[in-house]
Structures are given as structure tokens and as C-alpha cells.
Structure 1
Amino acid sequence: MNAPLHQLARPVLTDRFGRRVDYVRLSVTDRCDLRCSYCMPKGFHGFEEPEHWLTFDEIERLVAAFARLGVGRIRLTGGEPLLRRNLPDLAARLKALPGLHDLSLSTNATQLAKHAKALHQAGVDRLNISLDTLDGACNAHITGRDTFDAVMRGIYAAKEEGFAPIKLNMVAMKGVNDHEIERMAEFAMEHDFILRLIEAMPMGETGRNAQYLDLGPVRERLVERFGLVPEVHELGGGPARYWMTPDGGGRIGFITPISQHFCATCNRVRLAVDGTLYMCLGQEEKFEFRPLLRDGATDAELENAIRLAIELKPERHEFRETPGKIVRFMSQTGG
């Protein structure tokens, strides 16, 4: 029997610090229907012009070039990716590219109920869903809109459709939702979801104003409460460190860019909707692919540009040392 394509010998895209880059987070829009307090300020209108968005053809061509260089994981992000029209069509096109073996989506789930079936049929493997609270009033406070019921409908629709795993991303904030962490863990375990707790990052003014919570003590509390033990298997190729219940029935991930950064193992870059490739959330190094795509670059030229871009990837972020350095918002970078 032939081995799956992603297991065959393939090129390896490596940065100057010896880290393999095999994961691209692909933003399909910088628009969002929410204004989460740690992400995008209320009243913000500085969105990218639609004519600057990469078209589906341009996205497919650029992702194909990444895949030929060994990138096997693509995550569709935003903004809110489900605001981009015909997204399942793009997902199906990317899923069919040789070399890609993992296609996932990050969403706030407000639109998920009506798109879950089409996304699953298109080949999206996994979902990460933003859910910071199980309290409707708290949700409205964090997101700026009363969307809790729509979000929950989307989550349950995804579960019914058969997405697995479904990860719930909770940005844990002191004095805002930290009192709900145990409740969120119990909810996730009840429904076979994976809870991922995330430290707020100082991205733009909103991120710096978020009520940062060190997840170290939180992890210790949850380890004792649920008897958690370290998870030894990789769960998606991202930055989370996972712990599981002794019976393996529940898992909690911790994403700690501030208290315990994971830069030494960073395997990802982020492609914004306008074709700008950002090498790090906490640094300014970037490479613009839109001009190349629209000026008729050959496949070989695109691949060479990707290699040059990866050489710009910095060793680490400086969120602790210079928290005011990054003025762009998370939604502008791409999830």
C-alpha cells in the first residue's frame, strides 16, 4: 500500500534558527462582526480595501507554492473568516492541493450554524471556536454584541455535523471571566470539546488594555481539580501545551505567549488578507506577496520568495520587553 502523500519525503522549509515551518495561518478577511475587547476596538473602520484582498485564485496559487515547500497545515482565519463569501469553495480548492494534509478553521461561530455542513463537506478537518464565557451578559461585554445564542447554535451544529476535534478558545482575563474557567472546563469535557486557555497578548491598544492573567497558577489549580497529566501526543501542530484527565476523556490546552513563550518551537507564519506574510505576532518582519502575484511571478519565483521571507523570521517576540511595540490589531495580522 502506498504511503499517504504527506508521509513521503518532501521538501523542508527551515528558518535561520533551524525551525521547520510547516504551518500557515491564512486570513481571508480582516472584517469581523464582533468587537472583542482584547482584539479590535469599537468604532474601528480601518479595514483593508477589497481590491487589495487576495482572490481565491491568488490564494490557491500561493498556498500551492507553500505546499510544494513542505507546508502541510493551513488554518483559515480572519477577522471572522465566515464573513468571506463562498468560503467553502476556497476550502475545497485548498483541500485538494497535493501535500496539504490538515485544513482547519478558526471562527467566532456567529455564522457557523448555517455554514457547518458546507465546510465539513468541503474538507475542513477541525474547528477552533472562540468562546470566552458561558454567561450571555459577559459575552456581550467582551464581544460588544449579544450573540451568545447564535454562537451556541453554531457550536452545537458543528458537533452534530461531526467535526472533531472542536477546540474552544478562551482568552482568560483577570476580573472578567477567570471565575468561569472551571465551569468552561466542565462544559468542554461534557461535550467532548477541548478547552484551550489563552493569555491575552499586547497586540495593539486593545490587547495591551486586556486584563492579563498568568496561566501558570491556573494550570496548577486545574491539575489539582481534575487530576490532569501531561498529554504526550500532538494535537494540531499549534502552540498549546495539553494536559488530560487520567482516563483521557478530557483535555485542556494552555497557550502562554507571555508567561512561558514557545518561540523556540514556532512552526508557523501568518498570511494577511492583502497578501502580507507576517513572520511573528510580536515583531514587524513581513513580506508582501500581492505585488508578485499580480505582476506575473512564475511558480519558481514564488517559491524563492517564500524561502527569502522565511529567512526574515525572528528568533522570538518581545511582548514582555516591549509590550507597546506592535500597534496593529490581531485581526489585521490574521488570527
Structure 2
Amino acid sequence: MKSSPAYPPLVDPFRRAITYLRVSVTDRCDFRCVYCMAEDMTFLPKREVLSLEELDRLCSAFVARGVRKLRLTGGEPLVRKNILSLIQSLSRHLDTGDLEELTLTTNGSQLSRYADKLADLGVRRINVSIDTLDPATFRQITRWGDLDRVLEGLRAAQSAGLKIKVNTVALKGVNDHAFDEMIRWVHGQDMDLTLIETMPLGAIEDDRTDQYVSLADVRRDLEQRWTLIDIPFQTGGPARYVSIAETGGRIGFITPLSHNFCESCNRVRVTCTGTLYMCLGQDDAADLRTPLRSSDGDELLHTAIDEAIARKPKGHDFIIDRRGAPPALARHMSVTGG
């Protein structure tokens, strides 16, 4: 592959530097979470999915443009065949200092198998999705998931020295009565917790107007029992953090509907097919697979990236529609990645 000339850092039309890239390495998952996927999913043919070499080349192009944080997502990233070879290759950017953090979001099902290897390759922190500590409810939410297996993976990750943030999607009537229990458990395990509002992405069997819980309401409820202190802590993502005086732990709130986080957006997402989404909540996208496969050099790729970032919008238009309208966007969360 030919070396590329130096390219300037990525800055969008609103003068926001793009320093955070989320890349889906697969649309496949070994769970079928009710807010993320339909139970009967049709997955992409292999020819449409970027190879590991193409994913490395694409990620490296973004690193060369000023991306400092790279998160691998899915689907479930650890079900991608030979995923460790991609992580090993990308870790060279950690060695040079061009990349500050290489991390991933996982459902935890494969962590007992991969935790030590991830730590050896330079991964220092991971996000693990756990929406409930009740095994039966966990199976109901994930359809196929085994909570004991996920908890075993968390123990393996901590033994490997990985810092863990638990992501919990707030679901009305499902887990919204159990946030106190989740706080006590997560902070008791020396982990952070992030609560996330459900997002109107993709057609699912259930009605998201029935699932939706405003985290503004959740916070007000938590403040009846806990002392929440706003803190400036940041991980590079959209969460706004508080510390809880009683536990000493942190909680993040990701609120795309009740209080969007667009003004400071430093992120873009690439799907496993090489489609670049400049905003999670907009359909405008750019094809990066074609320039990747059209040339051994990266000039066409960088041109496509530049044209896309020039269209990055100021914010998204998420709304929970209570009139029975289709979801805001047709694509599933698993397609866009994490």
C-alpha cells in the first residue's frame, strides 16, 4: 500500500474537531436485545463487509487526521473472526502516541475468552452493556443472553486489569424500578455506570413510546435517595457525569431525547460496510468502501472523508413519536454500531 501524504486534522462546519471514531466491525451479534435488533435479523453477505485489512486502513486514515480515540463496536465486536489481529494491528498507533485510546463496547459474552488478550494488546478500558441484574429479565431483554456468562466475563476483565463502564439502557416497566440496585452493585464492583435513553432507531417488535424513560425524570428520582454532584469528568463521549457521595462512584447520563448532546459532538461512526455516518440521528452518509477498494493509495479515501465531514450537521432530530409513526431512522442500532 502506498504511503499517504500528510492531511490536515478533521474539523466540521461548526468548528468541532473530530477526534473520536466509532467503527462497527460486524453487524452480527450473539444477543438479540429488544431495543437494538429484531429477533429475526437478516445479516449482511460477507462481500459487503469490510475485511480486517480494510478496517485497519480506514481506521488508520482517521488516526492520521487527528482521531485520538477509537472504539470498536458491532453488533458484538468479539464475535468477528480474527478480531484480535485487527486490534493488534491498530495498537501500533498507541505505541506511536498517535492514538490515546483503543477500546470497545461489548455485551460481555466473550470476555472470559478475550479479556487477557485485550489487555495485552493495549486495551485499558471497555464498556459492557448490562441492563438488569435479574437473570430472567436479562434473558427477556437480550432474548439469547446468559447473565452468569456475562458476569464471569466481567470478573475476567477486572482480573486482566481492564477498567469497566457498565452501560444500562433505561426501559420503562422493565428495569426502571431497579436503578438503585444497579448503582450499588456497579459501584461496589469499582465500576462506572452510564444510563442511556432508548433511541428511535430501526423497526422492532415493541413500541418505543412504551419503552422510553426520560433520564431527566430518572435523575430527579435518584436525587430523592442519593447525593448527586455534577463533575467535569469526560471519557470523550456524550455522557454527562455525576458522582454519588454515598458510594464515591460515577454515573453518566446519555440523553439523546430529553437533553441532546450535539453542541460538543466530536464523533463520527463507520459501519462494517464502510458507510460513514456523520451523525447518529441523521440518515446522511458517505460511502468509504468504494474509495477504499478503488485504489491502493488513500487519496480517494481522504477526499471522501473530507467531503463527508463538510456535511456534518449541527445536531440530530431524535424524537419519540407517540402517534404510532415509524422510528426516526429505519436502520437498527446494530447497523450503525454501538
The alignment's TM-score, normalised by the length of structure 1, stands at 0.92
1:325 deviates by: 3.2
1:173 paired residue among 162, 171, 174: 171
CA distance in 1, matches of 2:272, 2:335: 8
1:321 deviates by: 7.7
CA distance in 2, matches of 1:247, 1:40: 36
Alignment partner of 1:90 is 2:86: yes
Taking structure 1 as reference, are residues 325 and 86 closer, same or farther at Cα in structure 2, changes over 3 Å only?
same
CA distance in 1, matches of 2:29, 2:145: 14
1:187 paired residue among 185, 202, 221: 185
CA distance in 1, matches of 2:233, 2:287: 35
- Aligned residue number for residue 18 of structure 2: 21
Counterparts of 1:36-185 in structure 2, within 5 Å, are: 36-45=33-42, 47-97=43-93, 98=96, 99-164=98-163, 166-185=164-183
Task: Say whether the 8 Å CA contact 2:130–2:166 is kept in structure 1.
Answer: yes
Task: Say whether the 8 Å CA contact 1:285–1:314 is kept in structure 2.
Answer: no
CA distance in 1, matches of 2:281, 2:319: 10
Alignment partner of 1:231 is 2:231: yes
- Aligned residue number for residue 282 of structure 1: 281
Task: Say whether the 8 Å CA contact 1:200–1:207 is kept in structure 2.
Answer: no
Deviations, residues 186-235 of structure 1 (Å, cap 9, x unaligned): 0011011111000000001229723000011211232342212011222x
Opposite residue 173 of structure 2, the aligned amino acid is G
- Aligned residue number for residue 197 of structure 1: 195
Deviations, residues 77-126 of structure 1 (Å, cap 9, x unaligned): 00000100121221121121241111111000111111111111111121
1:257 deviates by: 0.3
Superposed CA RMSD in Å reads 1.8
Task: Say whether the 8 Å CA contact 1:223–1:229 is kept in structure 2.
Answer: no
Counterparts of 1:262-301 in structure 2, within 5 Å, are: 262-296=261-295, 298-301=297-300
- Aligned residue number for residue 3 of structure 2: none
CA distance in 2, matches of 1:204, 1:171: 16
- Aligned residue number for residue 7 of structure 1: none
Deviating above 6 A after TM superposition, structure 1's stretches of 4 or more consecutive aligned residues are none
Which stretch of the first structure deviates more once superposed, 150-159 or 204-213? 204-213
Task: Say whether the 8 Å CA contact 1:131–1:169 is kept in structure 2.
Answer: yes
CA distance in 2, matches of 1:321, 1:158: 36
Taking structure 1 as reference, are residues 310 and 146 closer, same or farther at Cα in structure 2, changes over 3 Å only?
closer
2:327 paired residue among 324, 327, 335: 324
Task: Say whether the 8 Å CA contact 2:171–2:198 is kept in structure 1.
Answer: yes
Query: Which consecutive unaligned segments of at least 5 residues does structure 1 have?
Result: 1-9
CA distance in 1, matches of 2:296, 2:221: 53
CA distance in 1, matches of 2:34, 2:320: 23
Task: Say whether the 8 Å CA contact 1:170–1:197 is kept in structure 2.
Answer: yes
Task: Say whether the 8 Å CA contact 2:197–2:255 is kept in structure 1.
Answer: yes
- Aligned residue number for residue 216 of structure 1: 216
1:49 deviates by: 1.1
* Secondary structure, counterpart of 1:115 in structure 2: helix
Taking structure 1 as reference, are residues 121 and 328 closer, same or farther at Cα in structure 2, changes over 3 Å only?
same
CA distance in 2, matches of 1:245, 1:216: 16
Task: Say whether the 8 Å CA contact 2:184–2:247 is kept in structure 1.
Answer: no
Deviations, residues 265-296 of structure 1 (Å, cap 9, x unaligned): 11111110011111112111111111111111
CA distance in 2, matches of 1:13, 1:129: 29
Task: Say whether the 8 Å CA contact 1:201–1:207 is kept in structure 2.
Answer: no
Opposite residue 57 of structure 2, the aligned amino acid is R
- Aligned residue number for residue 4 of structure 2: none
Query: Which consecutive unaligned segments of at least 5 residues does structure 2 have?
Result: 1-6
Task: Say whether the 8 Å CA contact 1:39–1:207 is kept in structure 2.
Answer: no
CA distance in 1, matches of 2:162, 2:176: 28
CA distance in 2, matches of 1:140, 1:247: 31
Which stretch of the first structure deviates more once superposed, 183-192 or 53-62? 53-62
CA distance in 1, matches of 2:158, 2:138: 21
Figure out how many residues of one structure are paired with residues of the other and give that number: 323
* Secondary structure, counterpart of 1:129 in structure 2: strand
CA distance in 2, matches of 1:138, 1:105: 25
CA distance in 2, matches of 1:38, 1:324: 12
Taking structure 1 as reference, are residues 227 and 321 closer, same or farther at Cα in structure 2, changes over 3 Å only?
closer
Taking structure 1 as reference, are residues 24 and 295 closer, same or farther at Cα in structure 2, changes over 3 Å only?
same
Task: Say whether the 8 Å CA contact 2:187–2:247 is kept in structure 1.
Answer: no
Opposite residue 219 of structure 1, the aligned amino acid is R
* Secondary structure, counterpart of 1:183 in structure 2: helix
1:147 deviates by: 0.8
